[in-house]
Amino acid sequence: MRSVVLTKGVPDFREGQVSFDEDGHLERGATPTVMNPNDEFALQAALQTKVKHGGDVSVMSMGPPGYENVLEEAMSVYADDLYLLSDREMAAADTWSTSITLSAGIEKIDEEPDLVIAGFKTADGETGQTGPQTAWCLDRPIVTHVISMEIDEEEETLRAKRLVEGDVDEIETVEAPLPAFVVTDPEFSPSYRRAEHRLRHKRLKAETTERVENYEDHLTTWSAEGLDLDPDFIGLDGSPTIVSGVDPIPKAPSEREATMVDPDDAEAMNDVLETMQPLAGGD
Amino acid sequence: MTDDYEHYEAVVVGAGPGGAAAAAVLARNDVETLVLERGVDAGSKNVSGGLIYAEESAPYTVDGLFPDFREQASERPVTDYYLHNVAGDKVKTFDITDLHEHDTAWSDTVLRRKMDSWMAKRVHEMTAETGGGLLTDVRVNGLLRDNGEIVGVTCDELDPITADVVIAADGVNSELARDAGLMDWEEPEEWFQGVKAVIDVPEDVIAERFDVDDDEGVAHLFSGDLFEDVRGGGFLYTNEDSLSIGTVFHLDSLVAEQAEPHELLDSLLTHPLLADWLEGHYDEVEYSAKLVPDSKKVANPSPHRGRLLTVGDAAGQMQAQGPIIKGMNHAVSAGALAGEAFAEAQLRDNTERAGALYERKLKDEGVMGKLRPTGYRVASALGERGPVTSLADSVLTSGVGRLGVKLTGGLLERLYSSPRLSMMVPDTQTPYVTLPTVIAEELGERVDGEADFEPKDLASRIGDLTYDTDVGNPHIELQDTSMEASGAAVYACPVSAEDFGGGCYRAEEVKTNGSEEKRVSLDTQPCVECGTCAVVADTDWEHPRGGKGVEFEQG
């Protein structure tokens, strides 16, 4: 059972890591790049599949050479091997040309994966488009918002529970033929009810922790040429999306006028009451 | 029905010294062994005073099973052992190193998180070779039965598992021993309760104040009127760069005296005797508590039922030999003997015999004889009856008795150091309170000194512990909220106190139909899982789910 997990490097939006300039624009240079947090769940789903059915987990990302660190982070969760699709021609891609590039990468892997798994939308773009578009390029059935899944090897099917949000949240159980494409929900949680599975999980985690020390040895980098991609269909040239401008969301003023009042000062407290009185009506 | 379940030849429940020893011996004999530990890490649920012995006469020792144990998992060897008899600020110190060294190959201080997690790594490596391994975060919650026969275990986190043998090393509050009817939680007389504070002290300060080198350590015991009339005593052990200071009391005495365990610990911490040792270095890093079985009363002479074998605290195998307390060494012996018994039974193709074989080995190897000494049975038959005790007490405190104490001062020290006599000491007030008090009054010298600190209060002790609370799923339920049935928990629980709202147990005024009455209420969040309330209150007591509840960093 082979799985390919797609991941993306995103700015580390955590407090203390992220930097914005005076206009509220993200300072890319001053903000570290990390693995998209939602991709952790995709990796957990792939690891669960490996624990229960064997096979390999490959992790793939498209990005500049600096994205190696993102793949290293993915390997610390779990990966047998890593693929980085990296080329100047791929730069400034929108979700469509990214999907074209990723699907070419997946098709180049020797063995056709039974599962391609992506996390639910990235922390920077937040489009949620790349997964479904890649599934379309690969002509695979797609199951999104997956919170748990099991594979039936004999039947070659995937049975998954999906979290369907609406007026009332519902959990839907669906079945799809393999090979398939899965998008995990941030609510995804792996299930290991057998001791043998937990023991294998423990062993695989120890192995990947050891492997990550020399992750470069497990990394394959492919260029546009290596993927046999026409430069017109990838990167900026292949992107139909035009971003006309980015407006920062106005922030609430962080400084307000404040006057200190001594609660024991009757006169000052009277002033406070007089100021507040007109507002008491709720107008 | 059980055919679909996972099967292992052996399932060991709990990764303390008993479970680790059992698993090591099973693995050595190529028995496919699965070890299930409910903590996030082995040792994260475990507390002990902190002294482990290797007895010369024991069939197994921990360093025999786990080479490098002393170099890597323990703290310091105990090279000096003192007993302080205390009456107010008068203290008479006996050197009982001879008793400590009797039958002792070595003895080290330990902190359980470090010790147990170190052993668990080895256990996992050994058992993985057999097709099994060690899993943390899994709570075994009961026995799996088929037609009334024990065939395996049930867990919170895993589907049921069948096994040819289940070795329950799940500690003093063993749910498996209780499920099998091998233990109960009824009588406070059968238990001790210990509380402990680990104090960070730099290595060079320990060396200077306790006069020890890197490879030396010291144990101090305290008894007398330090704790009013509560039967028990205190201890101080030197670790590499910390001190384990604690108190151990008979649970029935705690209940009878309505004593607050944390206050008894405080009275030890602030005693003048400790002032010089702790001056400027009272940095308490962890407060913990534990229930301790009294093997003289509860060590099960036949600790098995069907495929279930119980070892260590789960079988009541904790020996209080006068001032010397030995638990972990017996758990190691028993665990290893249980593993050995199963391996032999399996070799003879008769795994059903494992329990009986284990029982015989405990007896033949002398383990049971130490846990339930015959001398104690004779002495206690005479000594624990009320009139004899009060007579002994009044003689000791009379002029005649005091004269005797004065005359025999040197003899007393020798008597205290007698391994045979110390095994016979009955559990009355005489040896714990009256005798040490008289000794100190008659022979002791005044110690001056004053603690330069206030001990931490209970709220900060609880606040400094790490918990992963299983919200909405409390592991203890109070069955009877009346003061008569459960009121004792308000003070006996080490993380509760009268007039303290932040603990587990509280007494509350409840108004019903115009009348007011006192009721007991429970919040399990601060629980340290010692099990005291299971004995002194009317509860439905279970362990929290795997990985949940308190997590000790020191233990």
**Nearest one of A63, A86, A67 to A222, comparing CA atoms:** A86
Indicate whether A211 belongs to any domain: yes
Minimum Cα–Cα distance from B159: chain A residue: A193
pLDDT for B375 equals 66
B445 lies within 8 A of chain A by CB: no
Percentage of chain A with pLDDT > 90? 61
Q: Give the 3-state secondary structure of residue A18.
A: coil
Express each pLDDT in A138-196 by its tens digit.
999 999 999 999 999 999 999 999 998 877 789 999 999 999 999 999 999 999 999 99
Indicate whether A282 belongs to any domain: no
Q: Which residues touch A212 (CB under 8 Å, ≥6 apart)?
A: A72, A75, A76
Report domain extents, chain B: 2-75+110-183+300-371, 76-105+185-293+376-464, 470-551
Instruction: Calculate mean pLDDT across residues A66-90.
Output: 94
Q: Cβ separation of A195 and B36 shorter than 8 Å?
A: yes
Mutate to test the interface with A, among B38, B138, B158, B545 (most CBs of A within 10 A): B158
Helix (H) or strand (E) holding B489: helix B488-492
Interatomic CA distance for residues B11 and B130, integer angstroms: 12
Whether residue B161 contacts residue B5, with contact meaning beta carbons closer than 8 Å, is answered with yes
pLDDT for B481 equals 95
In this prediction, the answer to ipTM > 0.90 reads no
B542 lies within 8 A of chain A by CB: no
Angle at CA of residue A193, ends A189 and A196, nearest 5°: 115
Q: Cβ separation of B6 and A198 shorter than 8 Å?
A: no
Q: If interface means Cβ-Cβ distance under 8 Å, which residues of chain A face chain B?
A: 193-196, 198-199, 202-203
- Using CB atoms, which residue from B133, B157, B159 is nearest to A199? B133
Indicate whether A281 belongs to any domain: no
- Using CB atoms, which residue from B8, B128, B135 is nearest to A198? B135
Mean pLDDT, chain A, rounded, equals 90
Interatomic CA distance for residues B198 and B444, integer angstroms: 28
Residues in chain A within 8 Å Cβ distance of B138: 195, 198
Q: Cβ separation of A198 and B132 shorter than 8 Å?
A: no
Indicate whether A240 belongs to any domain: no
Q: Cβ separation of B158 and A203 shorter than 8 Å?
A: no
Q: Which residues touch B241 (CB under 8 Å, ≥6 apart)?
A: B200, B201, B202, B203, B206
Higher pLDDT, A261 or B207: B207
pLDDT for B275 equals 92
A141 forms beta bridges with none
pLDDT for A31 equals 86
Residues in chain B within 8 Å Cβ distance of A197: none
Q: Cβ separation of B6 and A196 shorter than 8 Å?
A: yes
Q: Cβ separation of A198 and B158 shorter than 8 Å?
A: yes
Confidence of residue A21 (pLDDT cuts 50, 70, 90): confident
**Nearest one of B458, B441, B377, B21 to B197, comparing CA atoms:** B458
B523 lies within 8 A of chain A by CB: no
Minimum Cα–Cα distance from A193: chain B residue: B158
Neighbour tally for B419: CB within 10 Å: 15
Indicate whether A267 belongs to any domain: no
pLDDT for B426 equals 60
Number of A/B CB contacts below 8 angstroms equals: 28
Q: Which residues touch B234 (CB under 8 Å, ≥6 apart)?
A: B221, B222, B223, B226, B227, B245, B246, B247, B248, B265, B268
DSSP state of B308: E
Helix (H) or strand (E) holding B192: strand B191-200
Q: Which residues touch B79 (CB under 8 Å, ≥6 apart)?
A: B97, B212, B216, B217, B218
pLDDT for B229 equals 82
Residues in chain A within 8 Å Cβ distance of B34: 195, 199
Q: Give the 3-state secondary structure of residue B173.
A: coil
Q: Cβ separation of B159 and A198 shorter than 8 Å?
A: no
**CA diameter of chain A:** 84
pLDDT for A91 equals 86
- For B70-100, letters b (16+ CB in 10 Å) and e give beebbbbebbbbbbbbbbbebbbbbebbebb
Give B131 to chain A, closest Cα distance, Å. Answer: 9
Minimum Cα–Cα distance from B137: chain A residue: A198
pLDDT for B365 equals 96
Q: Give the 3-state secondary structure of residue B389.
A: helix
Q: Cβ separation of B158 and A195 shorter than 8 Å?
A: yes
Token pair in block for residue B128: 């993985």
Beta-strand pair A9-11/A33-35: antiparallel
pLDDT for A66 equals 85
Distances (CA, A) of A280 to A107, A256, A273: 67, 21, 10
Indicate whether A238 belongs to any domain: no
Whether residue B22 contacts residue B119, with contact meaning beta carbons closer than 8 Å, is answered with no
Indicate whether A182 belongs to any domain: yes
Minimum Cα–Cα distance from B35: chain A residue: A195
Indicate whether A123 belongs to any domain: yes
Angle at CA of residue B332, ends B331 and B338, nearest 5°: 85
- Using CB atoms, which residue from B34, B124, B128 is nearest to A195? B34
Q: Which CATH number belongs to the domain containing residue A39 in this structure?
A: 3.40.50.620
- Report the topology of domain B2-75+110-183+300-371: FAD/NAD(P)-binding domain (3.50.50)
Interatomic CA distance for residues B280 and B297, integer angstroms: 42
- Using CB atoms, which residue from A193, A202, A203 is nearest to B158? A193
- Using CB atoms, which residue from A195, A202, A203 is nearest to B161? A195
**Nearest one of A75, A115, A86, A111 to A218, comparing CA atoms:** A75
pLDDT in tens, chain B (555 residues): 567 899 999 999 999 999 999 999 999 999 999 999 999 999 999 999 999 999 999 999 999 999 999 999 999 999 999 999 888 888 989 898 888 898 999 999 999 999 999 999 999 999 999 999 999 999 999 999 999 999 999 999 999 999 999 999 999 999 999 999 999 888 899 999 999 999 999 999 999 999 999 999 999 999 888 887 888 899 999 999 999 999 999 999 999 999 999 999 999 999 999 999 999 999 999 999 999 999 989 999 999 999 999 999 999 999 987 778 899 999 999 999 999 999 999 999 999 999 999 999 999 999 999 998 876 665 565 555 555 566 566 666 666 666 666 666 666 676 666 666 565 556 667 777 777 888 888 888 888 889 999 999 999 999 999 999 999 999 999 999 999 999 999 999 999 999 999 999 999 988 877 788 899 999 999 999 999 999 999 999 999 999 999 999 999
- Report the topology of domain B76-105+185-293+376-464: D-Amino Acid Oxidase; Chain A, domain 2 (3.30.9)
Q: CATH 3.30.70: does it fit domain B470-551?
A: yes
pLDDT for B311 equals 98
Mutate to test the interface with B, among A52, A194, A199, A205 (most CBs of B within 10 A): A199
Residues in chain B within 8 Å Cβ distance of A196: 6
Task: Calculate the CA A48 to chain-centre distance.
Answer: 18
Give A203 to chain B, closest Cα distance, Å. Answer: 9
3-state SS record for A71-138: HHHHHHHCCCEEEEECCHHHCCCCHHHHHHHHHHHHHHCCCCCCEEEEECCCCCCCCCCHHHHHHHHH
Mutate to test the interface with B, among A192, A198, A202 (most CBs of B within 10 A): A198
Q: In what order do the strands lie in the sheet with B191-200?
A: B284-293, B191-200, B242-250, B232-238, B218-224, B80-87, B90-95, B445-446
Domain membership of residue A129 as a residue range: 3-233
The tally of domains found in chain A comes to 1
